[in-house]
Amino acid sequence: MRLTIRDLQKMRDAAEPIAILTAYDAISARVAEAADVPALLVGDTLGMVVQGRETTIPVTLEHMIYHCEIVARVTQKPLIIGDLPFMTYSISPEQAMTSAARLMQASGISCVKLEGGEYIAPTITRIVNAGIPVMGHIGLTPQSVNQFGGFRVQGRQLESARQLIQDALAVQEAGAFAIVLELVPTPLAKLITERLHIPTIGIGAGVGCSGQVQVFHDILNLFESFMPRHAKQYANISDLMRTAIAHYVSEVKEGLFPSAEHSFTMDESVLQNLLDDNEEK
């Protein structure tokens, strides 16, 4: 049975840390589910780690539907959260509800995530009132990377820290079931967590959050062009993949692959008939 937003709330209330991981395809989703990850985020980070782009901004709603549908279809237990991509919810609450409804209906996910604080709270309320669970996202919001001038820690100064607290409270009041805190100083993230009654999910926000979210490709070192400071490499899968592929190429060149073990035979009489047919011509 698939986990729900209530299960995440129960984990938060019981002080049980919540481990969330991104997933974008059948392999990542199945591996994460087998490792008992309770919630999977189909993030618009796929623009960077799957599509090879510099930011998440080029990701479209169609892209998100495609990847969300895969992850939802091949899993049974984890809560599936899908990102609403850039400019699919910012024009009006009506646009946001249309985008959220389309993503939910076409992919089968359980809830959506969108970026923004106090200013987006009325939109969150409209979506939630329509029956769609929403996860918020404040701090460094990647879809606003051009406005921030890069991927920078947010909330280090007094006024910006106060604004993040206000944003978090507004998002909670709007009806969000959880909120991502990205690139927020650890003490501030802990303070926000203590002031909220919904789960906070940190990414570069320290251990004081209710849970953590990391990118699948980062923790396995599958995205070598950039390793964020907040990411920990738990395995170096890239090196293993390179070694295996280089071994394959070498064996093909040397005539060692395929061997008899990886090949198929046929009845000798059939082969002889074919040879005889060729001689008769």
CATH number for position 198: 3.20.20.60
**Do 102 and 164 reside in the same domain of the chain?**
yes
**Do 9 and 103 reside in the same domain of the chain?**
yes
Give me the domain span that covers residue 254: 240-280
Question: What pTM did the predictor assign?
Answer: 0.94
Best CA proximity match to 213, nearest among 165, 181, 177, 167: 181
**Do 120 and 170 reside in the same domain of the chain?**
yes
**Do 137 and 228 reside in the same domain of the chain?**
yes
Distance CA 270, CA 193 (A): 74
Question: Residues 269, 270, 275, 277: what is their CA dihedral angle, to the nearest 10 degrees?
Answer: 120
**Mean pLDDT across the chain, nearest whole number?**
95
Distance CA 64, CA 83 (A): 7
Backbone torsions φ then ψ of 71, nearest 5 degrees: -65, -40
pLDDT at 280: 65
**182 catalytic, yes or no?**
yes
| Biggest CA pair distance of the chain | 92
- Which pairs with CB-CB distance under 8 Å and at least 24 residues apart come from 24-32? 24/49, 24/50, 24/67, 24/70, 24/71, 24/216, 25/50, 25/67, 25/70, 25/71, 26/70, 26/71, 26/74, 28/71, 28/216, 29/70, 29/71, 29/74, 29/75, 30/74, 30/75, 32/78, 32/216
Best CA proximity match to 20, nearest among 162, 168, 202: 202
**Do 263 and 178 reside in the same domain of the chain?**
no
Distance CA 172, CA 200 (A): 10
| Amino acid at residue number 66 | Y
pLDDT at position 140 over 90: yes
**Do 149 and 94 reside in the same domain of the chain?**
yes
**Do 227 and 108 reside in the same domain of the chain?**
yes
**Do 275 and 211 reside in the same domain of the chain?**
no
**Do 40 and 64 reside in the same domain of the chain?**
yes
The pLDDT > 90 percentage for the chain reads: 91
pLDDT at position 281 over 80: no
Query: What pLDDT digit, counting tens, does each position of 200-224 carry?
Result: 999 999 999 999 999 999 999 998 7
Give me 171's structure tokens.
Answer: 């998002």
pLDDT at position 150 over 90: no
pLDDT at 265: 93
- The pLDDT confidence band at residue 53, using thresholds 50, 70 and 90, is very high
Q: What is the mean pLDDT of residues 60-64?
A: 98
Q: Which of 33, 69, 115, 182 is catalytic?
A: 182
Identify the residue whose tokens are 């646009």: 95
**Do 229 and 257 reside in the same domain of the chain?**
no
pLDDT at position 145 over 90: no
Backbone torsions φ then ψ of 138, nearest 5 degrees: -130, 180
Total domains present in the chain: 2
Contact 71, 25 (CB under 8 A): yes
Query: What pLDDT digit, counting tens, does each position of 232-271 carry?
Result: 999 999 999 999 999 999 999 999 999 999 999 999 999 9
**Do 176 and 150 reside in the same domain of the chain?**
yes
**Do 263 and 228 reside in the same domain of the chain?**
no
